[in-house]
Amino acid sequence: MKSGLVSILCGLLFGAGLVVSDMINPARVLAFLDVAGAWDPSLALVLGGALIPSSLAYLIRRRMAAPFVATRFDVPTARTIDLRLITGAALFGVGWGVVGLCPGPAVAALTTGRWQILLFVAAMVGGMALFRVLHDRQAGG
Amino acid sequence: MSASSLEWWYPLGGGLLIGLSAGLYLLFNGRVTGISGMASVALGLARASSRLLPTLFLAGLLIGTLIATEWLRRPSIQVTSALPLLIVGGLLVGYGTRLGAGCTSGHGVCGLARLSPRSLAATGTFMVMAGITVFLMRHAFGATA
């Protein structure tokens, strides 16, 4: 119950952050990625700004046995850098550079109802489903 | 097409909101705010201990976007990609984030904050690859403006 409320509240903050920062605008993202063109550095401020509270939270977490409203921390612990990680990140990077949308802003931009966004998100879900079919099946669930 | 100039406090303020979201979600719910992971769990395309929490987070994200658009700032959302590129880009983002176990939020905001070596490697990789892609499309081939 409480954790559900926290989820909604954090989602609200995240969505507002995407709008205020203009990360929701693919043209802004592409201008940031276009280092050789008229470079727009503003998205470095988004990541830098985001890392301030989130780093603080991860520091505070070290002193906590459990989260405030959940029974345990459920944070990734893997440390091995493998080919799968790098290949996935590289493919994601190409897709991000092609359109200027990553998953968060893509979901947020659904609120515009624009066909380009709907098509992109449908293809993105298709990509996730493809991964599920190709790699994740034997794991069940 | 280029985006209009933006006062510096918008990206900084928006970044702080995103980081606050990630930080509170960690301290209260004990989880990482990775949107690609949450989306695939919410849609039943990945397993997790809870399907409800990511679903509620994404619902909140949509509502927060609407509220902020109404009250804080009205963004102009400029999509310049042609139809085939939208499909190819979407497929690559969906498949790549699952294979690489994270996107800009999971690896970028949460992973870098806890100094995860995997997230550092992933973030460096997708940033560089995105930069190369934009360079090739804009300056080498000139596909889009």
Contact between chains at B86 and A116 (C-beta distance less than 8 A): yes
Q: Which of B133, B102, B90, B131 is nearest to B36 (CA)?
A: B102
Mind giving me the DSSP string for B63-117? HHHHHHHHHT----------HHHHHHHHHHHHHHHHHTT--IIIIIIIIHHTT-H
Q: What is the mean pLDDT of chain A?
A: 94
Task: Give me the pLDDT at residue A121, please.
Answer: 98
Task: Give me the pLDDT at residue A140, please.
Answer: 44
Cβ pairs A/B, distance under 8 A: 507
- Of B144 and A60, the structure prediction assigns the larger pLDDT to A60
Contact between chains at B67 and A12 (C-beta distance less than 8 A): yes
Here the tokens at position B47 are 């397993």
Secondary structure E strands in A4-134: none
The number of distinct structural domains making up chain B is 1
Residues of B in contact with A121 (CB under 8 A): 90
pLDDT of residue A141 exceeding 50, the answer is: no
Q: Which residues are CB-contacts of A57 (< 8 A; sequence separation ≥ 6)?
A: B22, B23, B24, B26, B27, B113
What's the whole-number mean pLDDT along residues A6-13?
98
Residues 72-131 of A with CB under 8 A from B: 72-76, 78-81, 84-104, 106-112, 114, 116-117, 119-131
What's the whole-number mean pLDDT along residues A18-33?
96
Interchain contact A32–B (C-beta under 8 A):
no
Q: Are A120 and B77 in contact (CB under 8 A)?
A: no
Does residue B113 form part of some domain?
Answer: yes
Structural domain that includes position B44: 9-140
Secondary structure E strands in chain A: none
Does residue B2 form part of some domain?
Answer: no
Task: Give me the pLDDT at residue B2, please.
Answer: 62
What's the whole-number mean pLDDT along residues A28-37?
94
pLDDT of residue B144 exceeding 60, the answer is: no
Q: How far apart are CA B29 and CA B37, in angstroms?
A: 15
State the nearest Cα–Cα gap between B128 and chain A, in angstroms: 7
Q: What is the pTM of this model?
A: 0.95
Q: Which amino acid is at A66?
A: A
Query: CB-based burial of residue B58 (10 Å sphere; 0-12 exposed, 13-18 middle, 19+ buried)?
Result: buried
Q: Which residues are CB-contacts of B5 (< 8 A; sequence separation ≥ 6)?
A: none
Query: If pLDDT is split at 50, 70 and 90, which confidence band does B145 have?
Result: very low
What's the whole-number mean pLDDT along residues B88-97?
98
pLDDT of residue A125 exceeding 80, the answer is: yes
Query: If pLDDT is split at 50, 70 and 90, which confidence band does B137 have?
Result: very high
pLDDT of residue B83 exceeding 60, the answer is: yes
Does residue B145 form part of some domain?
Answer: no
B interface mutation test: which of A6, A9, A19 has the most B CBs within 10 A?
A: A19
pLDDT of residue B3 exceeding 90, the answer is: no
Does residue B103 form part of some domain?
Answer: yes
Q: Are A29 and A105 in contact (CB under 8 A)?
A: yes
Give the total residue count for chain A.
Answer: 141
Q: Are A38 and B8 in contact (CB under 8 A)?
A: no
What's the whole-number mean pLDDT along residues B58-87?
95
Residues of A in contact with B137 (CB under 8 A): 97-98
Task: Give me the pLDDT at residue B143, please.
Answer: 54
Q: Percent of chain A having pLDDT more than 70?
A: 96
How far is CA B145 from each of CA A101, B2, B93, B138, rounded to the nearest angstrom?
16, 8, 21, 6
